Structure 1
Amino acid sequence: MSVEPSPSVTGQTQPRPPRRSMTSAVEVRRSARRRRTVSAYREGDRTIVLIPARMSEAEEQRWVGVMLDKLAAQESRRTLGDGELAERAERLSTQYLGGRATPASVRWVTNQNTRWGSCTPAEGSIRLSHRLQGMPEYVVDYVLLHELAHLLVPGHGPRFWRLLEAYPRTERARGYLEGVVAAARLPHPTPPDGA
């Protein structure tokens, strides 16, 4: 599986009608010459996903999700500095919290190894762990929104969780983060003899 920055399909492709994702249209192109690899790239406001022609509808759906996550992670690694993080917080507050959460500062930190984010409501400061850098955008957005919600509700009671219900990818992001934590606890595999 690969992510390619530009189209590189040879042979006949069968474009599908564009689909809508959270941020842009998604166009799936099937190719009889493509055997095993799946790739994706951005083309203006569209995302093009290239898949083998033999792939089932269910596999196509799964791979589109995987590739959108990979592209989002790649873009997140490239572009998110503290300034962009603050802009993102403002956008999320406006979109999901009615603009009521207004942090004084939002920044990446390298000293949070047991938390994904933290918030000091009295100061209006939000800090996100550097470990989130490179994760899919929807995961970073969830953690940022979680900390923004703490500016309005300090604890994790029902009122707090009701604020996060507006974000459509809350459960998916929480599952992703739980998977990261679980994977970190797994023992590293021992290479087979002779490797």
Structure 2
Amino acid sequence: MPADAEVEVRRSARRKRTLTVFREQGRLVALVPARLTAAQERSLLPPLVERFLQRESRRTLPASTDGLDERARRLHEAYLAPRTAAPLPAFSVRWVDNQQRRWGSCSSDSGHIRLSSRLRTMPLWVSDYVLLHELAHLFVPSHSAQFHHLLAGYPDLARARAFLHGYQHATDTGGQAWSDELD
């Protein structure tokens, strides 16, 4: 195992045979069976971590489009970096045409972020919110309280969410008024 690789070891009573390594909020985490001895851990974990780091270093991410990668870096610096000590992991971001129900998606293990091309016609503060939301998933994969804490610094958070909910409602209803009294 590289000398500079710090690994958080988590023991699991449910895990019987396998060991696994992954990144969580920028740090390495190893899941091991609870019954694994310290000697077994010392012999099995270093090669596993080494293989993980080698695969990670070989991973090539597609080039971002339309300056999205630079926008993502600026959003990270402005709103996420002050709330997390972890550096921005490797990522790629691109527009996609096949997301009709989602605004964005993130594969936190690979760093691939996809934004619905429907966002291109929306105000910048709306697409920035979606991009920031997906960037936050690089640090916290779930929609937990910690995840929402990361997003809380974005000043247009409530406005962007309301805009997207309104847009989706109008799309779902065909733009029809929700009440006959409004005619």
TM-score range (shorter-chain normalised) is 0.5 to 0.7
Is 1:85 matched with 2:72?
Answer: no
Deviation at residue 157 of structure 1 after TM alignment: 0.8
Structure 1 unaligned residues grouped into runs of 5+: 1-80, 190-195
1:150 aligns with 2:134: no
Report how far residue 100 of structure 1 moved.
Answer: 3.0
Separation in 2 of the partners of 1:143 and 1:85? 12
Written as runs of structure 1 = structure 2, the 5 A alignment for 1:17-56 is: none
Matched, 1:184 2:167: no
Tell me by how many angstroms 1:176 deviates: 0.1
What residue in structure 2 maps to residue 96 of structure 1? 79
List, as ranges, runs of 4+ consecutive aligned residues in structure 1 with deviation greater than 6 Å: none
Question: C-alpha displacement at 1:187, in angstroms?
Answer: 3.7
1:186 deviation in Å? Answer: 1.8
Q: Specify whether residues 178 and 103 from structure 1 end up closer, same or farther in structure 2 by C-alpha distance, changes over 3 A only.
A: farther
Q: Give the alignment's TM-score, normalised by structure 1.
A: 0.53
* Counterpart code for 1:140: S
CA contact (8 A) 1:109 1:129 kept: yes
Number of aligned residue pairs: give it: 109
Match of 2:156 among 166, 169, 187: 169
1: CA distance, partners of 2:174 / 2:153 = 37
For normalisation by structure 2, the TM-score amounts to 0.56
Greater length-normalized contact order (CA 8 Å, ≥ 6 residues apart): 2
> 1-side partners of 2:129 and 2:174: how far apart?
28
SS in 1 for 2:149: helix
Match of 2:115 in 1: 128
Change (3 A) 1:188 1:156: closer
Q: Which has the larger radius of gyration?
A: 2
Indicate the percent of aligned positions where both proteins have the same amino acid: 50
Q: Tell me the equivalent position of 1:15.
A: none
Query: What residue is the counterpart of 2:93 in the other structure?
Result: 106
- Cα distance between partner residues in 1 of 2:102 and 2:119: 10
For 2:127 and 2:109, the matched residues in 1 are separated by: 23
Deviation of the 1:103 alpha carbon: 4.1
Contact 1:120 1:126 in 2 (8 A): yes
